[in-house]
């Protein structure tokens, strides 16, 4: 009796396992009267083309009673990316932004450390981001630093900004009144004298800037004319530049041809020591794991102009402090 019960139990378990296995994977069915690929597709929630492919037959094949067909597994439901709206920044050097959430997806652009973005969705280890030019791409979450919600941050900051502005205005008026009493002047007279001083200072500053500009190189003047032009990976024209495309374009306006590559431009001209830089010299940086990967044009006073992926446009940055000081690798004089 015990032996009979044991055999029955084992048979039941085996049958259950077979049934579960059949549900989990492809199944085989025997064709009966009136059965077609369409009816099988509807019954088992599988596309006609998938059944035809699994059995190596045409999608228009006529099924014969008694024949057996393999029914493949129905497709697993696609998980939609979780949506968000967060502030984000690139946390790495020359990080690839791709068209889709995969290493095999086409690269849209490269961004440098600190480039501001808005994270809009997440799919596994990938985050969908809105780029400075409003286009969309995907980046590995390892290379992204995220902050607070865009809408939430804006909502909380606005009242604070208003209150701060009001407090600053009251403090400014109080300081002016104390200054007027100290110099025994009426407040209106103080305002008049300050306006005269401000006009004189502005005139002197404009004269100084004009004098400086007149002595600067044609290369720098040309480069300054394109400040604010959008950053565009691979770009080398007025609609958008990348770093080497910008320097090559500026020099081409003066009849000098440069290769469209920061690493190759590093081999052009002659080396210049950091202490002997002049306006118009090319300055080079190491912003990736190896080699020269970024270039700009020295403009004087420890600054350089370049097409910045982090800033999203052609801009002026410091060569003597911050991010670029640590990554400066040398300079070349081409002209």
Distance CA 277, CA 298 (A): 7
CB 330 within 8 A of CB 319: no
3-state secondary structure of 284: strand
Distance CA 269, CA 38 (A): 72
CB 138 within 8 A of CB 103: no
Distance CA 9, CA 16 (A): 11
Q: Which of 203, 232, 260, 294 is catalytic?
A: 294
Question: Can 4 be counted among the known catalytic residues?
Answer: no
Question: Can 17 be counted among the known catalytic residues?
Answer: no
Question: Can 294 be counted among the known catalytic residues?
Answer: yes
Q: Which of 45, 183, 211, 243 is catalytic?
A: 243
Beta strands in 31-132, from DSSP E residues, in sequence order: 68-71, 82-90, 95-98, 107-111, 116-123, 126-130
Q: Which of 104, 186, 191, 306 is catalytic?
A: 306
Any residues with CB less than 8 A from the CB of 104 and at least 6 apart, and which? none
Report the catalytic residues.
243, 294, 306
């Amino acid at each position: 009796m015990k032996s009979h019960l044991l055999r029955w139990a084992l048979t039941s378990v085996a049958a259950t396992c077979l049934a579960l296995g059949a549900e989990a994977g492809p199944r085989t069915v025997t064709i009966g009267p009136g059965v077609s690929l369409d009816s099988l597709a509807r019954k088992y929630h599988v596309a006609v083309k998938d059944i035809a492919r699994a059995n190596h037959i045409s999608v228009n094949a006529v099924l014969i009673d008694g024949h057996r067909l393999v029914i493949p597994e129905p497709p697993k439901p696609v998980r939609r990316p979780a949506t968000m709206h967060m502030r984000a920044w690139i946390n790495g050097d020359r990080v690839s932004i791709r068209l889709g959430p995969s290493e095999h997806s086409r690269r849209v652009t490269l961004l440098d450390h600190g480039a501001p973005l808005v994270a809009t969705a997440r799919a596994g280890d990938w985050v969908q981001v809105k780029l400075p030019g409003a286009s969309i791409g995907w980046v590995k979450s390892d290379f992204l630093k995220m902050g607070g919600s865009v809408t939430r941050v804006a909502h909380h900051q606005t009242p604070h900004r208003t209150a701060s502005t009001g407090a600053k205005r009251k403090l400014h008026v109080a300081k002016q009144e104390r200054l007027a009493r100290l110099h025994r002047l009426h407040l209106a007279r103080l305002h008049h004298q300050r306006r005269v001083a401000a006009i004189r200072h502005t005139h002197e500053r404009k004269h100084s800037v004009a004098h400086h500009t007149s002595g600067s190189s044609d290369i720098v003047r040309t480069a300054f004319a394109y400040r604010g032009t959008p950053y565009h990976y691979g770009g080398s024209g007025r609609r958008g530049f990348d770093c080497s495309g910008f320097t090559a374009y500026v020099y081409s306006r003066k009849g000098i041809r440069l290769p469209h590559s920061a690493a190759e431009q590093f081999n052009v001209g002659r080396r210049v020591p950091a202490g002997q830089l002049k306006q118009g010299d090319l300055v080079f940086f190491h912003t990736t794991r190896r080699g020269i990967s970024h270039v700009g044009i020295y403009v004087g006073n420890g600054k350089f102009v370049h097409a910045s992926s982090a800033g999203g446009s052609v801009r002026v940055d410091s060569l003597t402090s911050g991010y670029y000081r640590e990554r400066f690798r040398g300079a070349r004089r081409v002209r």
